[in-house]
Structure 1
Amino acid sequence: MSSNGFTCQRCHQPLILDASLEKVTSGQKQALLDASRASTSSISSTRRDFDRIPGPRESKEAYLQAQKSTDSSPRARIGPAESFILLSQSQVGSAPRPNPGTSEDHIPVASSVNVSSTETVERLLYALSSSTGIDHPLCSGCASVLQRILQDKLEDVQKERDAYISFEREWQATKKAEKEAAPDGVVESDAEVCAKLGKKNKQLEEDALRLIQELKEEEEEERSLDAELLTVQQEEEALERQEIEFLQNRQLMQARAAELESQLRTETTLHLLASQTLRKLESTNVYNDVFQIGHVPLGDFHSSHRPNAPHSSSAGDKWASAVSSGTSQTVGTINGLRLGGRPWVEWVEINAALGLVALCLHRVSEKVGFRFETYKIVPMGSFSRIEELPPSKNVYELYASTDLSAARLLQNRRFNYALVGMLDCLRQLISYGRSKKKGWASGGLDITKDKIAGHPIKLSANMGMSSLGIVGTVPGTSVIQSTEAEESWTKALRAVLAVLKRILIVESEIDHSVES
């Protein structure tokens, strides 16, 4: 309430009082107070409902609706809400409110002489506020809302009263029917009815207690089920976490398995390649690869290797007849170099082949752990040599030449000694193999002094002269005899190669058996 006027105690809107309130008589005031005291008990709940009603703007809307419903209702009448008028903010005024501690019984009666009209209205509103439980004054909207709430409560109370009246009538009708239907006029008294109702009430109370106990048990079981449900939910969450962890680990394991499978395929491929390489290496004879020993027909080279030694047509005819008689002859080879076959094979090729033979014989003796007793082989390719062991210091060249110098003729003589020394080293190696029971040392191969398989390893005089290209200058020599000597020398060298080849094959087989 402002100092210049009144405000609504709920929405705090400024108010202007109706002029009729300034002329309230003492009788009217007392009647209002008596009516408010009679309705105090029912207003308390109404105030709680009223306090939940929305604010000023909503109250204004409710007021407008109430006005419409009031105008259209047959029971409409002018209420106290029409005693108030809404003001704008500029018209707001305020007036002091009476002390709340003052009781309505001590409110002085307004008089036209001593008490002003404003004080009378304030005391009246204060009395109404104290007796009804709802603060006054109220604006039109709030008063309409309060009126509607009270009207709804009145309708509810009337419906409840009608229900009680109907129930009473039905009960009385039922009791009358029972009285008329009772035999011999026996009618239960009210005491008996009350006793029965008391027993039934007691039974209902017992049933209620039993149901309450069952309800408590059900509640206890529900709490137990809730605890069990919580445990199950926790277990479910734990299982979900385990499942997620399992799926993650499974994914990692699958990736790892795929990686290992890829590595396994790679390693398997590498193993197959290594196995193939191993089988290839196991089947490989390193000595056969280093020293490839074989033979070729010498007749394939006759036409392209005709000797230049003969100086006359008659000598050429004798060479042709010698060639035609020796076309079936074969010559041994080592690494593609022919060993023998003079005069069709040049000394350069023969010297290189003899160097390989010396190297092969030297390597085989070292492999089997044998040292020669009288000679030492010094492999030096086409210029290899055979050295006698101390106390002798003789050195024999294992190569020859067609040079006609005196020094070269002497060297060709030492060439024969070198061939004999090489053959003696081969004989010592075979004897050592027989003592060690080597497979390659068995057989009927005969080596005696300067012969192998009955063929001399040395160059004869005629053969030497023909080899040097001076056949026909020595009286009594013939081309046929020289050719036969060449063939015999070639066969001796081929026999040496055959022995070396057998040694290499058997030693390679022994190595393979040891490795497996």
Structure 2
Amino acid sequence: MSSIRFICQCCSQPLKPYQSTEILGLSTTQRFAVSMLTSAQGQPAGEGVGRTSREETDIEKQQDGASCRPDEGLTSRESSNNFTLLGEFVPMGSLSSIQKVAGDIFDILTGTKEVDHPLCEECTSTLLEQLDTQLTITEHDNQNYRGSLETGKLMSEFAKDMLQMELTGLELEEARLVKELEELEKNGKRATEDLRAAQVETEALDQQEKQNQRVYSELKQQELDLLDELTSVDNRLRYAQTQLEWLQKTNVFSITFDIWQEGPLGVINNFRLGCLPTVPVSWNEINAAWGQTALLLLALSNKIGLEFQRYRLVPCGNHSYLRSLTDDSIELPLFCYGGQSVFLDNKFDYAMMAFLDCMQQFKEEAEKGESGLCLPYRINVKNGLMEDPASGSEYYSIRTLLNTEEQWTKALKFMLVNLKWSLAWVSLRYCQK
């Protein structure tokens, strides 16, 4: 039969008993079981009991031998394979106990039953040390309990009463603290509810704050836009005021009508009025100069509120003319197409004489008042002459009939000088207002 194999239940190491122990375990156990059965059946009870006691003594010796340390001659490996079977020892004093032991041994030998607690030597030592420690602690606790019990017995009645009173006071304090704890729990619940309500209100306020922040941002953007627009308007206003001041200081007539002389010729707005054999001027330029002159006299008369009599000026560029106020069918042209018959054109001469009539009306109106107008050259409307007082009252005809180019050109130059003085007078009076 093969030897029995066990595993340590603590460290799970395989355990192999000594050969002598195996042989002892098999043969002795079998003989012991047979002898127990035989003695129980054929011998008296007293003798069986004595033998049984001896057998128990032998078994105890064998168990003591199995649980003791291995001999000094054994190796460490053999020593680690030693083990101890832990379990309840049942004295075999009766037939039932003997039969149970025999059945257990048979089950162990046949392998149908496992040993409950096989341990190796090291685990057994550790277990014994733990048991000793627990035993020491238990004995110490037992001594403390006994001392407390003896102290309680020796305590006087007065001390017991004091302790009882203290216990009663502590119970009352406990009841008070329990009530206080209940109040605190109620307060805690109320505080929790208040906290939840505050959290809900806080969330609503947060949402309102976000909405207000969006509205504020929109209003801030609108404010910035309005500020930008206001700044732009202020800049434009300052620019307009600057332009207005500049325009108020500007002489509109002087800017619009520029009169000067170029040698013997008078010039208005870059158009020469007159012609000389040495300085030929086209009739288109002369006609345009007459148009600018008519426009200037009409503007000056409108400024002072003068309405002409007998004739009405109609400035139309190089095709300007005068219309009779007594007969609408009569139009006197202030332009000429040129040719050999220029100085024989009576309508052109009549138009220039009518222009001098209008200019004389303006002079008479402007001479009224404290700041009256004083022209450098006199006008003879009836004969169509311009008089120069500085040269000994010489007269120059504005007509082309029976006249020379030099005389006609000088008369036109004197007329432009009078218009320039009139322009300066009106500009000064306009600026004062």
Normalised to the residue count of structure 1, the TM-score between the two structures is: 0.47
Alignment-derived partner of residue 288 in structure 1:
254
Verify the 8 A CA contact 1:339 1:490 in the aligned structure 2: yes
Other-structure match for 1:205: 171
Q: 1:111 aligns with which of 99, 109, 122?
A: 99
Return the letter of the residue paired with 2:242.
Answer: Q
**Equivalent residues in 2 for 1:83-98 (5 A)?**
83=84
Distance in 1 of aligned mates of 2:216 and 2:250: 49
Per-residue CA deviations over 1:148-176 (Å, capped at 9, x if unaligned) read 6654443332232232344456667x86x
Match of 2:83 in 1: 82
* Offset from partner CA, 1:173-222 (integer Å, 9 cap, x none): x86xxxxxxxxxxxx7x5x6655544443334333333433444455555
Q: How big is each residue's C-alpha offset from its partner over 1:344-368, in whole Å with a ceiling of 9 and x where there is no partner?
A: 9866576553331123345667887
SS, match of residue 103 in structure 2: coil
Give 1:421's aligned amino acid.
A
Once residues 394 and 250 of structure 1 are traced to their aligned partners in structure 2, the CA distance between those partners, rounded to angstroms, is: 74
Percent of aligned pairs sharing the same letter: 21
Q: 1: distance between equivalents of 2:159 and 2:420?
A: 147
Match of 1:467 among 392, 395, 404: 404
AA aligned opposite 1:380: G
CA contact (8 A) 1:455 1:489 kept: no
Displacement of 1:421:
1.3
CA contact (8 A) 2:322 2:333 kept: yes
Alignment check: 8 A CA contact 2:334 2:351 kept? yes
- Deviation readout 1:317-374 (Å, 9 max, x if unpaired): xxxxxxxxxxxxxx86533556679899866576553331123345667887968754
1:155 aligns with 2:136: yes
Paired with 2:16 and 2:328, the residues of 1 have a C-alpha distance of 163
Q: 1:247 to 1:380 in 2, by over 3 A?
A: closer
Equivalence map 1:83-482=2 (5 Å)? 83=84, 109-111=97-99, 115=103, 117-119=105-107, 136-137=116-117, 140=120, 150-167=131-148, 190=157, 194-221=160-187, 265-293=231-259, 301=263, 334-335=268-269, 352-362=288-298, 374-375=311-312, 377-381=314-318, 384-388=320-324, 390=327, 392-393=329-330, 395-398=332-335, 405=340, 407-411=341-345, 413-426=346-359, 449-450=381-382, 455=387, 459-460=396-397, 467-468=404-405
The aligned counterpart of 2:37 is none
Q: Does the CA-based 8 Å contact 1:288-1:504 persist in structure 2?
A: yes
Query: Mean Cα displacement is larger for which, 237-246 or 485-494?
Result: 237-246
- Taking a change above 3 Å as real, the CA distance of residues 164 and 347 of structure 1, as seen in their structure-2 partners, is same
Q: Give, in angstroms, the shift of residue 378 of structure 1.
A: 4.9
**Letter in structure 2 aligned against 1:495:** N
Partner of 1:499: 422
Query: By how many angstroms is 1:417 displaced?
Result: 1.4
How has the CA–CA distance of structure 1 residues 149 and 263 changed in structure 2, closer, same or farther, with 3 Å as cutoff?
farther
Between the aligned partners of 2:127 and 2:309, the Cα distance in structure 1 is 143
Q: What amino acid does structure 1 have at the position aligned with 2:83?
A: E
* Aligned mates of 1:283, 1:242 — CA distance in 2: 59
- Partner of 2:83, secondary structure, is helix
* Equivalent-residue separation in structure 2 for 1:8 and 1:360 (angstroms): 139
What's the secondary structure of 1:115's corresponding residue?
helix
Higher mean displacement: 276-285 or 246-255 = 246-255
Residues 10 and 249 from structure 1, CA distance in 2 versus in 1: closer, same or farther, beyond 3 angstroms? farther
C-alpha deviation, 1:419, in angstroms:
1.5
Q: CA deviation at 1:224?
A: 5.2
Cα 1:408–1:282 shift into 2, 3 Å: same
Structure 1 residue 273 displacement after superposition: 3.0
Distance across 2 between alignment mates of 1:151 and 1:255: 88
SS of the aligned residue for 1:83 comes to strand
In structure 2, the CA distance between the partners of 1:386 and 1:17, relative to structure 1 (3 Å rule), is same
- Cα distance per residue 1:444-498 (max 9 Å; x no partner): 88977447998499954999766336xxxxxxxxxxxx7xx98676444432443
Contact 1:358–1:377 at 8 Å: present in 2 too? Answer: yes
| Residue identity matched to 1:419 | M
Is the Cα contact below 8 Å between 1:334 and 1:353 reproduced in 2? yes
Residues 265 and 149 of structure 1, relative CA distance in 2, 3 Å threshold: farther
Q: Distance in 2 between matches of 1:123 and 1:27?
A: 29
Looking at structure 1, the residues matched to 234 and 134 of structure 2 have their Cα atoms a distance apart, in angstroms, of 96
5 Å-filtered alignment, 1:51-62, equals none
The secondary structure found in structure 2 opposite 1:109 is: helix
CA distance in 1, matches of 2:114, 2:398: 172
Give the Cα–Cα distance (whole angstroms) in 1 for the partners of residues 420 and 298 of structure 2. 14
Contact conserved, 1:7 with 1:138, CA < 8 A, in 2? yes
Structure 1 unpaired stretches of 5+? 31-77, 86-106, 127-135, 176-187, 306-330, 470-481
Return the offset for 1:427.
5.5
Kept after mapping to 1: 8 A contact 2:386/2:397: no
CA distance in 2, matches of 1:236, 1:202: 49
Shift of 1:422: 1.4
- CA RMSD in angstroms, aligned pairs only: 6.1
Q: Distance in 2 between matches of 1:240 and 1:147?
A: 71
State the aligned residue count: 355
Structure 2 portions without partners, runs of 5+: 34-51, 57-78, 87-94, 389-393
Q: Which has the higher contact order (CA 8 A, sep 6+)?
A: 1
Deviation at 1:418, TM superposition (A): 1.5
Report how far residue 499 of structure 1 moved: 3.4
How far apart are the structure 2 equivalents of 1:110 and 1:439?
A: 170
Q: Deviations over 1:57-76 (max 9, x none)?
A: xxxxxxxxxxxxxxxxxxxx
Q: Is the 8 A contact 1:396 1:418 kept in 2?
A: yes
Q: Which residue does 2:63 correspond to in 1?
A: none
Rounded to whole Å, the distance in 2 between the matches of 1:288 and 1:194 is: 132
